[in-house]
Each structure stands twice: as C-alpha cells, then as structure tokens.
Structure 1
Amino acid sequence: MAASTRDFTAPTVQLLTHEGELRPTAEAEAYLPLIEALPDVELQQFYRDMSISRRVDIAGANLQRQGQLALWVPSHGQEAAQVGSARAARPQDHIFPSYREHIVGMIRGLDPVKILSLLRGITQGGWEPSENGNFHLYTLVLASQTLHATGYAMGLTLDGAAGTGDPERDTAVLVYFGDGSTSQGDANEALVFASSYQTPQVFLVQNNQWAISVPVSRQSRSPIALRGGGFGMPGIRVDGNDVLASYAVTRQALEEARAGDGPSFIEAVTYRIGAHTTADDPTKYRTQDEVDHWTARDPITRYRTWLASRGASDAFFAEVEQEAQDAAADVRRRALELPAPTRETIFEHVYSEPHPLMAEQLAWLDAFERSLDGGAA
C-alpha cells in the first residue's frame, strides 16, 4: 500500500520563540498590535501570575503527598495558556473551567484556599461564581462544563447581552477543556449548539498531549484546531507555552464573540509536566526524553528571557519570586487551618431556599445520633 499523502496540518500562532525572542510566525503578525499596546505593568503581571501559579501548584502537590488533600490536580507547564487567556477576559465575562485552572480562578479573584478546600473534601461545591469574578465551579465530569458554558452563552444571546456595541455590557463566555474532553459527546454537542445559536463564546482546548495515559496522537489524527471549521467556527492553533500568543488570540476571539460574531475554537498546544492528578503515575506511559523535551520549552523561563531582554531588572524577578513563595506559604498555612465541616453542611444548598424536607432529614439525623448515645430516639 502506498504511503498516505493526506496532509493534516494547521499553522500555529507564536510570538515568542522557544528561546524567548519576539519573532512572530506569519500567522501571528496580525496579533502583534495587541501586544504592542500593552503597558509594561501588564506585561510584567503575566510573569507574576505564572510564577505564583507554579509555586501554589507545588504547594498543593506537597499537601496531597503529606495527606492533607484527597487529591491535587497539577497545572505545571500550562501556566502560559491559562494566564494569557484569563487576562484576555473582561470582568463581565463568564469563565467555565474544568479542574486544572487554578491561576485562572485566582486572576478572577478566587481565594486559592477554596480550591484546596474542595480537594480536601470539606466543601460540596467550592465557591459562589458571582462573588468570584464569574468564575464558575470546577467540574470533574469530563466536558460537562462545555454544555454548561454553551447554555449560559445561549442565555446571553437571548437576553441581548452581546453584540450591542456597549463595551461595559457585552459579555462573552470562555470555557476551558482538555484534549481528552474533545472525544466526549458533551463537547461535540456543545459545539453544535454554539454554532447553531452563534453564541458569544470561546472554546479553549488545552492540548497537554495526554488524556491521562492516552496520547493525543491516538485521539486525533489531525490538529484539534481543525475541528472548529467542522462545526462552522474559526479554529485557531496557538503555542500554549507562549503567554503573549495565548493572550492575543484569546482576546481577539473574545472581542469577536462580544461583538456578535459567534463562537471560536482555540487549541493551545502545551504540555502537562506533572501527573494528570496525584493519583496518576505518568512514568508508566511516557518517556523521560519526552518530558525533558517539553521542560526545555518551559513557558516561565521563555517569558522571563524576553522580559529581561526588554530591561526587566533582577530586582523585579527577585520581588516576584518572594511574592510567589509568600503566596504558597500563605495557602499552605490557611489550608492546614481549615476546620472540618459540621454534619449540618450536607443539608445546606441542596435547595436554593430553606426546604422542609431538609429540615426533616436533619431532625431525623439528630434523633438517630442521640439514639446511639443511649438517648431517646
């Protein structure tokens, strides 16, 4: 049989090379003005965010290994895709994460201890989205958040909350999911509805190369970004280890969504340096050579090189390092101080308002516990 000549390729938007030089690819040239318009303080904030994310991630993993968390979901290596895209959103936008977007939540104002509280098993939900920058709840059921996000975006369309030309009102939805989730029916159904209703929405796939132990090459014979066109929306492939490219591509897509131009599909090509979760052993299915290859493309190192070439001082980097260490220490200290939940907690928030059935069940539990202590049932 003759070798296949089919060509499944997609150009990649990249502004920073692996060595940290600003050298846009042809596909990235159109996005360059978005970066040139950013002041130094915002460019430096990207580095600050990524550094804090890395330190908090290490603290979370250590807490789990020490038996203080039931689970930890590492984000090491994916900081640029997350920080760049999160910083591209406006305050009124709604963000639907999967379960790895810790720094995205922090950027939106979420206390990271609420994430640790969830993974420690002492909260049933985590946080109130409206009080935390419209950052919605983590979802451990793969791709279910894509349907939640699309439903919310459909509501925005029906409410006329996009395409009005009012920058303070027009709202978009940004939903994160992984390469593994693209194989789920939920994700594909969400894409169909988003395209049909032309929702103000951006689908952002963090392609970290592994769906737990299944390589992306087995799931998709072509770049995931090409799927966008199949659903009738732009599909853009971006270097997910380039924070500038991640920011620019997501910002442009969100602006188009708010303007009423419909949804977009972004594939951010990155790598999960750590385990899928702390319940996983990645040495069982991938090689050290592969990990070393991607470690050399570390998004924080790359960006630091570029900032230094622009004149960022050693004092700035030292300040950020200290801030990141302090943030991690603070998270660890407060996580260890978290109190165990009371038994009444299980009856809270089952309904939006107090409900007689919950009161009845709580009363039954009170009576049952008294009976165990020898009291009257």
Structure 2
Amino acid sequence: MSDTAPRGVRLVIALAGRRNAGKSSLINALCGQDIAIVSEHPGTTTDPVAKHYELLPFGPVTFYDTAGLDDEGELGTLRIEATRKVLWRADVAVIVVGSEGITNAERDIASRIRELDIPCVVAFNKRDLRGPSEADAAWCAQNGLTAVEVSAREGLGVDALKTALIDAIPAEMREEPMLCADLVTPGQWVTCVVPIDLSAPKGRLILPQVQVLRDILDADATGIVVKEHDLAASLDNMKDAPALVITDSQVVDAVAATVPESVPLTTFSTLFARYKGDLASLVAGAQAIDALKDGDTVLVAEACSHHAMDDDIGRVKIPAWMKRYTGKDLHFEIYAGHDFPEDLERFALCIHCGACMLNRREMLRRIRECQRRGVPVTNYGVAISKLQGVLARIIRPLGME
C-alpha cells in the first residue's frame, strides 16, 4: 500500500452513523491499523479523520471516520456540519449501525445520503453482540441498500464489507477516460495551436498541451505544434488537411475562422472537459450563460493557486468576455483551492478551470456537488467557445451537436 497517490485520484468513502455505533473501530478494522481513537464514551470522534488505503483490486481510496450525526450541543452541531461536508464529497457512504439496530437516526441518515445520490452500504456492526433483526433486514431490502454484518472488534465480515464497497463504486469511477487518441488513427496528422502569452511558462508548454501531444503519439499519429499566427501558413504547406485541429481556447475564434469547416476542430479545454469530467453536463452549464441577470454572481473555480497575470484567463479575460456577451452587470468571485464555498447556492453559475491538476474523480465530485445544489457548472474552454459563438463546432468532433 502507498500513501503517495494524490488526493484527487482517491475514491472517498465516508463512514456515517450515530455516536458509539463503532465507526472508529470499523475504520481501524478496514485499514488494519489503529487510525481512529476508540472509546466507549459517545462522541469520541470530533473531527473527520482521513485514512488513505489501497482497496484492491480497485485502487487508492480515502476512508473518512466522522462524528456521530446524533451529536448534541453547540459543539455537536459543528461536528455534524463537518460530517455533512464530508458527505458532500463522498463517492460511497457506509451507514454504520450499532447494537441498537435501525432507528429513526439511521433512517434520517439514509434519507440524507439518498438526497445526495451517493451509493450506500449498511454495515451492521457488533454482530458479536447482536445481528440485524428481520425488520432491519427488511428495511434495507425495501430501500435497495446492501447490508453486511460485521464485527470490528472480532474482525468478522470485514472482507465482505470491502467487497460490498467495491461493488457500490459508481460506474463513472471505473471508466477509462478518453483524451484524444480515439479521435485519430495511426498515421494521421493533428495540428495543435499553442499561443505564447504572458501566462505561458517560460521554456515549456503547459500540462494539458503536453498530455494531448503524448496522447497523439500514443495513438501513432503525428502532432504539429504552431502558434496561432502561423496556422494559416502551416495548413497551406500541408499536402493533406489534418485529421484534427486542437487549439487553445483563448484564440478559438481566430482559429475557427482560419480552419476550413470540413476540418474537425476542438480545444484543449474541451478535451479535458471530457477527460476529467462530464462534457455533456459542462456543455449544458454553458447554456446557462444566456439566462444570467443583472446582479448575478459567477463563481470562477480554480483547482490550484497561481500568480495572476495581467491577462489571466479566469480573472480577467473570461469576466470581460462574459460581460460583453451578456450585456449584464455581473459579479465574479475567484475561489482557488480544494473545496467549494459553503454557500455555493448563492452563485448563478460556476465556471471551472480545465482541471489539469485534478484527477477525474475529483472533478466529477465538483460537478456533482454543483448539480446537487442547483448551480449550473461549465469549464473555461466550453464557456469561451460558447461566448465566441463556436461551441457547436467545437463539440462536434466529440460526438455532440
């Protein structure tokens, strides 16, 4: 097992339940280590405790031990809120049931998890003291919940719970994402348009461009890299038209005007919208730009922190383009980091970066969180193509109209 896998590549599995249900003992049993403090005193776990683990044969996951959702008092309310934040980010949830069996507390927890559309497994802990009653088993069956009997203390049923967790992992987390190799065949030519502006790192290309070029080579195709003002000459010098042109979104309008309609055209960021997230959802989110009103606040979400340049794409160019396109008095807030604002609902739209520094699971988590809270979400490249009036052409090579 290794703790070196980045946060974004790890599936998040949250353990939730009442105080003293045995969540801490169970996470210790799952990981085979004493990670969480175990005590008979209710409320021992005050803040979420994370443990990285290699859940084979799936891969890296993070288990979260959380405070009891029946905690009391002012501090208890804060602990419950911290638990709910973990649930926002969870890919799979485990409802841990203690020796008292299913109560209204577990039913409330299950309802909350169902609202978040999180796959869920019920772990009847302390089977050495009491197994699930017929009524408990019937309730799980009626609600479509997989139930597993375990004893964290005795180590019974732990492997069965791991199997149930793997079975519950969403299909989207198992898929091998595509970048661009499926768009070309061996021997074809692909032209990549790469502007060199203030934000371009000196002496190298940015990560999305490098990854796309590597994918082209892995497909046994040939990649040509040009700056936007050299594109026309490059196309004229080619014996045959390229099989695909991929451009930086910031110059998509000029490139679209240069590349013949017969040549497939897309952008690096649009490829990453498919590779790192859910392209259909991000395209649908871009359409929400047309519904923006005066006074609306737009969230510009960046996955990493960086020094902002005078022509920064997220902080300068996109806001200017959006104001010009909509003609509305819009407000923009930049949020750089791992988590979204707690008050996400107050935003009329979220425009996310290309997520080159995030794994697909983390980006899907962010898209899902926006959808759960009723906030349209798109990404930089898709939004720019919409603002420049070329979105339909840009998504066509990816099988969308």
TM-score (norm 1): 0.26
Larger Rg: 2
Greater relative contact order (CA < 8 Å, ≥ 6 in sequence): 1
The structure whose residues are more often strand, as a share, is 2
The structure whose residues are more often helix, as a share, is 1
TM-score (norm 2): 0.24
